[in-house]
Amino acid sequence: MSTTPKPHIQEHFQQIIWYSLDNNLINNALFVAERLLSLNDRDQNSRHLLGLCFLRAGRHASAYHVTNSYKHLGCSYVFAQCCKEMGKYREGIVALENCLSQLPSKWSACKCFHLRLFVALILVVDDHGRAKRNHLPDLGAVLCLMGHVQRASGDSTRAMEAYVEALKVNPYLWEAFDGLVELGVSLKVENCFKASSTMRALRESTHATNIDASSTQPQGAGFNFSLGDIPEGSSSTPGAFQPIFNWAKSGQSAFLSSNQPVTPG
């Protein structure tokens, strides 16, 4: 019977696993992850790590069985990826719906917001940077994977709608944009990637106050472009999604061509 390991032991094992994954030492990560889960097989964070290691190793069946039936956000996301690779599309969609039901009200990647302090405009970068990261998926990632799974299942319409919602949440998701292109959707590219009013204000304020914005921006997390002309009332929070989604209507999207048919070609 497994027992709960001491916190410092669990943290040390987790550090070794992430170090190994970051440096593509997959077998090393897998070995330590198996040891970690054996210390406490009820810990779903450890189960997620083991499933992720199996997934990175290309052992989709093993990752599928390790994460199956667990509601942990990371486990469900890994499970959905395995379902896509194994052709179990309906199971993958259900797992992603579970992800949406428990996502936090914020999205974590590439989201910058501003805080006025005296006359300076200060960037606050959320959850992903040089000194911090969130290893769990955010809303954009889940929606993008939903598009991939729907597309693989042959449902082009729902795949298109998932990709559209993913781009609304995170305009930096090239995979979602590329997915729409592969589906034959006619796009208004100039509306997909355009500077928002907040970004323009930031640029002007930075110039006026001689702030070096690059020193506060993580490498690789550019913020020169944003998705523009989002229909008013749209939301990127999980509450906006009903049991499946409030799917975007293709004719109402600001970045789909007006002559685009409802069903992509």
Q: Give per-residue pLDDT as tens, 48-89.
A: 999 999 999 999 999 999 999 999 999 999 999 999 999 999
Whether the per-residue pLDDT at 213 is higher than 70: the answer is: no
Q: Please, what are the domains in the chain?
A: 7-102 (1.25.40.10), 112-252 (no CATH)
Given this model, what pLDDT does residue 74 score?
96
In this structure, which amino acid lies at residue 119?
V
Given this model, what pLDDT does residue 209 score?
59
Lowest-pLDDT range of 111-120, 164-173, 176-185 = 111-120
What average pLDDT does the segment 203-213 reach? Answer: 60
Whether the per-residue pLDDT at 16 is higher than 90: the answer is: yes
- 55's enclosing H/E stretch is helix 44-56
Whether the per-residue pLDDT at 180 is higher than 90: the answer is: yes
How wide is the angle at C-alpha 44 spanned by C-alphas 78 and 140, nearest 5°?
40
User: What is the C-alpha to C-alpha distance for residues 191 and 187, in angstroms, rounded to an integer?
Assistant: 9
Whole-model pTM: value is 0.71
Report percent pLDDT > 90 for the chain: 47
Q: Strand locations in 67-150, DSSP E? A: 112-117, 120-125
Given this model, what pLDDT does residue 253 score?
55
Whether the per-residue pLDDT at 116 is higher than 50: the answer is: no
Lowest-pLDDT range of 37-51, 92-106, 154-168, 247-261 = 247-261
Q: Where are the alpha helices (DSSP H) in 121-214?
A: 139-153, 156-169, 174-182, 189-192, 197-209
What is the distance, to the nearest Å, from the Cα of residue 169 to the centroid of all Cα atoms in its chain?
10
